[in-house]
Amino acid sequence: MRDAVQLIQNARRVFAASHIDHDGDAVGSLLGFAHILRQLGKTVTVALADPVSWRFEHLPGAEKIHAVKPSPDDDLLVSLDASEFNRLGAVLTPNDLAGRPLLMIDHHITNSRFGTVNVLDPTAASTCEILYSLAQALDVPLDPTIATCLLTGVVTDTLGFRTTSTTPRSLEVAQALMHAGANLSEICQRAFNSDTYARLCLTADVLHRMTLDEGVLWSQVTLDDLRRLGVPYAESAGLVGYLNSVREARVAVIFRENEDGRIDVSMRSKPGISLASVALALGGGGHPQAAGATLPPPMNAARERVLAELHKLLAGTTVSA
């Protein structure tokens, strides 16, 4: 953390980015970080490869997020909530580094420490939880704007403080963020109790065609489904949680056909079953209970490969129900 503080203090113009297929922790950490640095008088550009989802567009500063690359004047590059460099997508590629320092801030256990300086804490339930400590280390007081962005990541990555990754620290941070002016119920409402009609139709299809295969409950989404129902690809994430709620499922998986034809794999597991090794074997990453990977097409081949890996994992794991 000390090296990170020094890098930030020495910077004038900062370029910050978060991961493709963004979630609440990606957007919350990106915006929270930018607001913290602006308190220090820094100029900050915020970038995401994909347009900001309606779920997060109300967050303060979300309108300033664009799919832009760093300018030659930026003297510090920052990666937030990304386990691998290539998860930043088109906004930051190796050519963009140009000898500049890259500050990497993340909480994925599979993180490859790709930064010049790495703030990696796999015990943190969200990147936003780490940023709370960073704000303290930088002596930046929390205001309602910073607190709202950070609490969004804390709440979404813990699914409302329900995941195995949630610790007393997550709750302490949330408490401090509420004291600083963040509205917990409003954040929960937008994150968990808000959907579109088209997306609920997609959910119905995904549930209708789910298959339980020896402890693995899986389903899939094709580009045809998305076109037929009018759901943008970026809005098709987050359905795997329904499958994982099933008692008989030790692991839940959703296969999604991406716009570039590749297959995005979202996996969830019950406590006691770690997906980290399977995710790494598939070239992906994530957390023990929530991981993913992106595989080449076709869908059937990707599915067979993942299901084989998961059955191998389950054959070597005993879990008490």
Which residues are within 8 A (CB) of 110 and not within 5 positions of it... i.e. 6 or more apart? 83, 276, 279, 280, 284, 285, 286, 291
State in angstroms the smallest separation of the CB of 298 from Mn ion. 27
Judged by beta carbon distances under 5 to 8 A according to partner kind, the member of Mn ion, ligand AMP, none in contact with residue 285 is ligand AMP
Q: Which does 74 bind (CB under 5 to 8 A by kind): ligand AMP, Mn ion, none?
A: none
Beta bridge partners of 203: none
50 binds, among Mn ion, ligand AMP, none (CB under 5 to 8 A by kind): none
Q: How far apart are the C-alpha atoms of 240 and 158, rounded to whole Å?
A: 15
Bridge partners of 254, per DSSP, are 219, 266
The amino acid at 121:
D
CB of 138 to ligand AMP, least distance (A): 26
Instruction: Give Cβ neighbours of residue 4 (< 8 Å, ≥ 6 apart).
Output: 103, 105, 117, 119, 134, 137
Nearer to ligand AMP, 137 or 192 (CB): 192
118 touches 17 (CB < 8 A): no
23 vs 225 by CB, closer to Mn ion:
23
Interface with ligand AMP (CB under 6 A), residue from 76, 252, 293, 313: 293
- Segment contacting ligand AMP by CB under 6 A, of 30-38, 170-178, 198-206, 286-294: 286-294
The least distance separating ligand AMP from the CB of residue 2, rounded to whole angstroms, comes to 27
Q: Answer whether 206's CB lies under 8 Å from 170's CB.
A: no
Q: Does 70 bind ligand AMP (CB under 6 A)?
A: no
Q: In angstroms, what is the minimal distance from the CB of 127 to Mn ion?
A: 5
Which does residue 291 bind out of ligand AMP, Mn ion, none, counting CB within 5 to 8 angstroms by kind?
A: ligand AMP
Concatenated DSSP letters of 43-63? EEEEE-SSPPPTTTTTSTTGG
* Contact (CB, 8 A) for 112 and 88: no
Q: Which residues sit at the interface with ligand AMP, rule CB under 6 A?
A: 21, 83-84, 87, 108, 237, 240, 266, 284-287, 290-294
